[in-house]
Amino acid sequence: MIAAVSLGFFGSVFALVGMKCTKVGGSDQTKAKIACLAGLIFILSGLCSLTGCSLYANRITSEFFDPSFIAQK
């Protein structure tokens, strides 16, 4: 989840630089490449978030449905 948040932050920064209305980033072609990079970083951030949430949910549900887990308490 920390990786997802970090990638989301960097994706937001790259998206801000890649916007056409800003003067930072150079030409329109360079800004388009930066905006595409931001999109790829957002996709990677979403995959990291999905993986983290799925692993956590899997752990919770496996403990919930495990009858031997109750006997351990």
pLDDT recorded at residue 61: 80
Domain that holds residue 31: 2-72
**Block means of pLDDT (10 residues each) for the chain, length 73 residues?**
94 92 85 94 96 86 72 57
pLDDT at 39: 96
Gyration radius from the chain CA atoms: 20
Q: Domain count of the chain?
A: 1
- Does residue 22 come out as left (phi exceeding 0), alpha (psi in the -120 to 50 range) or beta? beta
pLDDT confidence of residue 73: 54
pLDDT at 71: 58
Q: Are 11 and 41 in contact (CB under 8 A)?
A: yes
